[in-house]
Amino acid sequence: MEMSETLETSRDIVRSKIRRAARWGLRLLAAIEHRLEKRRSRRTLCELTDDELCDVGLTRAEAKAEISKSWFWS
C-alpha cells in the first residue's frame, strides 16, 4: 500500500467518525428540543382558563397533573 493510499484511508476513517459524531449531536439536539417543546406546552396549558381547558377536553385537575410532570423525563 502506498503512502497516498494510507492517507486516503485515514481521511475516510476520520470523515466517518466526524459524520457519526455529527449525527449523534443532531439526535441529541432534537431530543432536547422535543423536551423543551413539552415544557413550553405545559407552561401554556398552565395559563389556560377553565373554559379553554374544556375546549381542549381537559379538566383543571388533569391540567395540573400534566403541568406537574417533569419537563425533562416525561
What per-residue confidence (pLDDT) applies to 44?
A: 92
What per-residue confidence (pLDDT) applies to 9?
A: 84
Low-confidence ranges of the chain (pLDDT < 70): 1-7, 71-74
What per-residue confidence (pLDDT) applies to 25?
A: 97
Q: How far apart are CA 33 and CA 73, in angstroms?
A: 13
Assess contact for 53 and 63: CB atoms under 8 A.
Answer: yes
pTM score, whole prediction: 0.65
